[in-house]
Amino acid sequence: MAWLIAAGLGALVSAILLLNLASPRDGSLLKSHARKAPAAAPATDARGAAPTNDRDAATNETATAPTLPEPSPAAPSTPVPPLAPSLPAAAAPPPSGFAMAMIPSGPVNDTDIVALKARDLLIPVAGVKANQLRDCYYDGRSEGRTHEALDIMAAGGTPVLAATDGTIVKLFQSDKGGITLYQLDPSGLYLYYYAHLQRYADGVGEGKPVRRGEVIAYVGDTGNAGAGNYHLHFAISKPVAPRKWSGGLPINPYPILAGK
């Protein structure tokens, strides 16, 4: 019996010794068996880097996050004005001195005679005097026509002069008038017609402004004047339509040039 008690005590002592050898050195059994909580993963920024403190975190986030533009307020809708209608191309300007249009102004009357006399028209053949003129305005012509012009006799090749300032509006080859020239008065109200010309002066052309007394042509016998019958057929008319240089209302040049 005694030996059983002694054996039990020896086993107990041995168990205590074994337990002391297996326990941690700090002697805390509870501590040796406590499950350590896993360390929390440090917060990372958008790049995956752990900031060191709140200030750095804010700084890093500000520095590295993509900067998006602030949404702008919608611009007020501004109505787009309609496109201006296409305008036709401007017409080419007339030649210098040709801007004055022919102006129809009714039948011939005393006012026209007064206005033309005030123009102080030059006898349009060099060297011819007023007392050499003969009124042949009402003379008959072929086909029952009336002359309606003034024949100013002169040698072939005598210079033909512009009766007044104006613009040459037409150079024309006529069966009856031969080589002809139409000049427009500066007022646009009257046309001067020179016919049976030998030729035009150098530099003469349609649209050319001319001055009173300027040489514009030379006396000839072209058209139906008759060979060797050199003279200038000179007529004055009022246009009946804009830009219509022929077929105007005739005015007798004789009282205007002769001063009667």
pLDDT of residue 66: 43
pLDDT of residue 18: 53
pLDDT of residue 16: 57
Percent of the chain with pLDDT over 70: 61
**CA separation for the pair 241, 194 (Å, rounded):** 20
Output the CA torsion sign for 244, 246, 252, 255. Answer: positive
Contact 190, 251 (CB under 8 A): yes
* 235-250 confidence digits (pLDDT tens): 999 998 888 888 899 9
Output the CA torsion sign for 156, 168, 127, 201. Answer: negative
Q: How many helices (H) and strands (E) does the chain have?
A: 5, 9
pLDDT of residue 140: 83
pLDDT of residue 5: 58
pLDDT of residue 48: 42
**CA separation for the pair 207, 140 (Å, rounded):** 33
Both tokens of residue 228?
A: 């060797």
Structural domains in the chain, sorted by start: 110-258 (2.70.70.10)
Token pair 């309609």 in the structure block, residue: 82
pLDDT of residue 258: 93
Average pLDDT score over residue span 28-47: 41
Both tokens of residue 45?
A: 């920024």
Average pLDDT, the chain: 75
**Helices assigned H by DSSP within the chain:** 2-22, 29-33, 54-64, 110-118, 254-258
Top mean-pLDDT range of 18-27, 34-43, 241-250: 241-250
* 82 against 246, higher pLDDT: 246
The pLDDT of residue 103 is above 50: yes
Average pLDDT score over residue span 183-194: 96
Q: What are phi and psi of 53, to 5 degrees?
A: -155, 180
The pLDDT of residue 117 is above 90: yes
pLDDT of residue 10: 62
pLDDT of residue 100: 55
pTM above 0.85, yes or no: no
Residue 106 corresponds to which amino acid?
G
